[in-house]
Amino acid sequence: MVSARSTPDVPGGGEALPRLLAPDHLARAEAVYQDLVTVRFGFEARLGHVLAYLRTYASPSIAGLLAHTGHVQHAPEKRATDTGLFVYELFVAGLDSPTGDQVVRRLAAMHSRWRIADDDYTWVLGTFAVLGTRVIERCARRRLTDDERQATVDWWREFGTRMGVVDVPATYAEFADAFDDYERRRLRRTEEGQALLAASWPALVAGLPAPARPLARQLVGVLTDEPARSALGLPRPDPATRAAVTTALRARALLQRGRGTGLGFTPGAPIGPYRDGYTLDDLGVGDDHRHPMAR
C-alpha cells in the first residue's frame, strides 16, 4: 500500500538545505564529476541515465509507487524528459547555484509526500553513482580513476543529503556493496514494473544518444545485468548479440579516443514535449502528485 511519507521534512524557500561536504571539498568533487559527465563521457553518461531510469522498474516498492502516481503510464514522455532535465540542469549549473538549489527543492517537495525508505532512496542514488560508473567503464575507452570514482560518489552523497537521505555510503566500494546487496534482496519482476516499462519504452529510446537508438533493445539487454534483467523481464542476450554490441561500443570508444563526447544539452532549449523550450517551473508534477487519469 502506498502511503504519505512522514520524513524527512522539506526545507522551506528561506531555509538552508542540509549539507554534507565542506564547500571546497564539494567544489573539487563537482569539478571532476562535471568534467566526466558533460565533457569526457557525455555519451556514456546519457546511456547510463537511461539505464538507471529503466532499472527503477525492477524494484517492487519503487515500481509500485510509480504505478500509483500514474505519471509514467499517462505522461511517459514528460516524465522521462523531466527526469533527465532535472539531472542535467544540476550537472551544468552545480549544486550550489541558484538553479541547483531550485532543482533540489523541487525534487524534495515532489518526493516528500510519499513514504520512501532510505534504502530505496540510496539504491536509486546508486543507479547513478554505481551503475553510471559501471556503464562508463564498460562503454568508454578506459576505467575511471579512484579519484574520479570518489568524486562521483561524493557528488551523489551531497545531492542525497540535500534531499534528506541519511547514511549514504561514503566510498565507491561501500556504495557498490550496498547497491548490489539491495539488488540481490529486493529486485523481482512485477506487473507494475512490466506496465511501466511498456509505457515508457518509446520515451526511453528517444532519450538514448542518437547512435544508440537503432540498437536500443540489444543494447539495454546487454548492458543490464542480473538480477535486474530478469526483474525487468528482458531476454538474456545470446552470445552473438552480446559480442556485436560489445564490439560496436569498443569501436566507438576507439574512434572517440582523445576527444570528449559532450553531453549535448542546452538548458531551456526545445526538447521532447517542450517544443518551444522550457523553464524549471515547467518540470515535475506541481502540487497534484498523482496524474488525473490515475485517480
Strand partners, 274: 271
Question: How is residue 147 written as a grid cell?
Answer: 579519484
Supply the pLDDT for residue 291: 62
pTM value is 0.90
**Residues with pLDDT less than 70, the chain:** 1-14, 257-263, 286-295
Neighbours of 269 (CB within 10 A): 9
Supply the pLDDT for residue 29: 98
Residues in CB range of 96: below 8 A, 6 or more apart: 23, 26
Distance of alpha carbon 133 from alpha carbon 144, whole angstroms: 8
Q: Where are the domains of the chain?
A: 23-294
List the one residue out of 67, 46, 52 whose CA is nearest residue 199: 67
Per-residue pLDDT of 66-108, as tens digits, reads: 999 998 999 999 999 999 999 999 999 999 999 999 999 999 9
Sign of the C-alpha dihedral computed for residues 36, 38, 39 and 43 taken in this order: positive
Supply the pLDDT for residue 287: 65
Distance of alpha carbon 61 from alpha carbon 48, whole angstroms: 22
Supply the pLDDT for residue 4: 39
**Rounded (10°) angle between helices 118-129 and 60-69:** 100
Distance of alpha carbon 213 from alpha carbon 200, whole angstroms: 15
- Beta strands per DSSP E along the chain: none
* Amino acid in the structure at residue 142: R
Supply the pLDDT for residue 5: 42
Burial classification of residue 133, based on how many CB atoms lie within 10 Å of its CB (0-12 exposed, 13-18 middle, 19 or more buried)? buried
